[in-house]
Chain A
Amino acid sequence: MTEALTLALVGLLMALAVWTLVARDTFAAVSGFVPYGLLLTLAWLQLRAVDVAMTEAAIGAGLTGVLLIAAAARLRPTEAPAWAERPGLPTRVLAAIVSAAVAAGIGACVLLLPDPAPTLAPAVAQNIASTGVGNPITAVLMSFRAMDTLLEAVVLLLGLIGVWSLAPDRAWGGRPGPAPTEDPNSILGYLARVLPPIGIVVGVYILWVGADLPGGKFQGATVLAAMWLLVMMAGISDAPAVDRTWVRLALAGGPAVFIAIGLLGAGVAGAFLGYPEGLAKPLIVVVEAALLPSLAVTLALLLTGPPRRKDGDT
């Protein structure tokens, strides 16, 4: 019975993947990609990887989905001309062959893995007590491989700088996205008033339980970012101008705290990002709590896009 469900899930995943590739309309492709991400969440759940499943649902399907929908909406006017000048048959066949070869290579790598696959899980289980957290994923992300997590947070920030660099000169320092036109008393405005209190509690809860159960700052920050985006979309509050000091502080604060604690570790514990004996858990909580608002603001501003208008523009 479970196997039938798994097979059905895999079949649906493959079908949606093919649909996303062959759909001619960008929007149609995106509307295949979002349920693909949600089904992938179920697949990760089936594999008991709850942390990965949550990240896939929040970032893979949710955030990326919104980003792609916005991109598709922006590309819509140029879609027909773009089709007219699409590459010739030989180029497309060549691209298909190269893509299939890469996919086959990856597939071969997965299938040729020794059984059981090489794993560091016993090492993590042995040393998890030294971190004070109960969730091994959090222990890996925040202690054993804290460097990767720091770089992830910094990469997001660099991504936002990249998006901002697309701003036209006259709009630099202004507000991102189009001016709100939505009536704040519409049904969307209603949702944007009812949902955020619940969403904020859920986001902070996901961060908090991340120490011992599946969850963490990235998933929590995505929920918080979604709440803020909802409020902005409903026209209840406008996006902030990107030259505001509080925006810059909110963006840089989390990574700065992370780096400061890392340097502290270099002095006290003898290694960059090393935690002093007995203080690992509190420091991890401080870093996660500092990263949460920074990541939420970064993700929300990534979605609102480059600055496009200054106050006073029409």
Chain B
Amino acid sequence: MKGILDIFTIVAVAAGAFFFLAGTVGLLRFPDTFTRLHALTKADNLGLGLVVIGLLPQMDGVMAGLKLILVWLMVLLASATVSQIIARALRRGGPEP
């Protein structure tokens, strides 16, 4: 059982790390701010989500796991809001996207 959970953790965290990598590559390579925001939120949403899911079996206690999930939800809320605000500021005539 322990071994299966460890393998699950490794797979999920590795997948999360892949999304962080993809998000970073997108941030560096995409042509304008809107697409870069898209890449960035992929890292936050999917990357961190997978890392959190992967770490859940390793936590001792339900409370610690719930705190991890809360952290992920907070990051989701923050990244969604901040991307909206950045995108809106650009559309209202900020610097060229």
A188 in contact with B74 (CB, 8 Å): no
* Contact B88–A187 (Cβ < 8 Å): yes
Q: Measured between alpha carbons, how far is A198 from B76 in the docked complex, in Å? A: 14
Query: Which parts of A152-209 form the interface with B (CB within 8 Å)?
Result: 187-188, 190-191, 194-195, 198
How far does the alpha carbon of A191 sit from the alpha carbon of B84 in the complex, in Å?
11
| B residues less than 8 Å from A195 (CB atoms) | 77
- Taking CB atoms and an 8 Å cut-off, the chain B residues in 76-94 that contact chain A are 77-78, 81, 84-85, 88
**Complex Cα spacing A107 to B74, Å:** 39
Q: What 1/0 flags go to B52-96 for Cβ under 8 Å of A?
A: 000000000000000000000010011001001100100000000
Of A191, A194, A195, which is in contact with the most chain B CB atoms at under 10 Å from its CB?
A191
Q: Which residue of B lies closest to A194 (CB)?
A: B77
What are 13 A-B pairs at a CB distance below 8 A? A187-B81, A187-B84, A187-B85, A187-B88, A188-B81, A188-B85, A190-B81, A191-B77, A191-B78, A191-B81, A194-B77, A195-B77, A198-B74
- Residues of B contacting A190 with CB < 8 Å? 81
Interchain nearest-CB distance for B49 vs A (Å): 19
Known: A187-B84, A188-B85, A191-B78. 10 other contacts (CB 8 A): A187-B81, A187-B85, A187-B88, A188-B81, A190-B81, A191-B77, A191-B81, A194-B77, A195-B77, A198-B74
Distance of A188 Cα from B78 Cα, bound (Å) = 10
Number of A interface residues at 8 Å Cβ cutoff, please give it: 7
Residues of A with C-beta under 8 A to B88? 187
Closest Cβ–Cβ distance, residue B52 to chain A (whole Å): 17
Min CB gap B48→A, angstroms? 15
Minimum CB–CB distance from A38 to chain B (whole Å) comes to: 13
Provide the residues of chain A in CB contact with B84, threshold 8 Å.
187
Q: Return chain B residues, CB-CB under 8 Å to A187.
A: 81, 84-85, 88
Chain A residues within 8 Å of B74, by CB: 198
By a CB distance below 8 angstroms, the chain A residues around B81 are: 187-188, 190-191
Instruction: Give the interface centre of B74, B78, B81, B85 by most chain A CB atoms within 10 Å.
Output: B81
In Å, the complex CA distance between A202 and B77 comes to 16
- Min Cβ gap B57→A in Å is 21
- Residues on B with C-beta less than 8 A from A198 are 74
Closest CB of chain B to A26's CB: distance in Å? Answer: 15
Once the chains are docked, how many angstroms separate the CA of A191 from the CA of B74? 11
Chain A nearest CB from B44 CB (Å) reads 15
**B96 nearest CB across to chain A (Å):** 16
In whole angstroms, how far apart are the Cα atoms of A190 and B88 in the complex? 15
A84-125 vs B, CB cutoff 8 Å, 1 = contact: the mask equals 000000000000000000000000000000000000000000
CA distance A71 to B17 in the complex (A): 36
Instruction: Give A190's nearest chain B residue, CB to CB.
Output: B81
Kindly state the separation between the CA atoms of A195 and B84 in the bound complex, as whole angstroms: 16
For B78, the chain A residues whose CB sits under 8 A away are: 191
Which chain B residue lies CB-closest to A192? Answer: B81
- Shortest Cβ gap from B26 to chain A (Å): 18
A34 to B: closest C-beta gap in Å: 13
Q: How many angstroms between the C-alpha atoms of A14 and B87 in the bound complex?
A: 31
B37 shortest CB reach to chain A, Å: 13
CA A194 – CA B76 in complex, angstroms? 13
**In the complex, A190 Cα to B80 Cα: how many Å?**
12
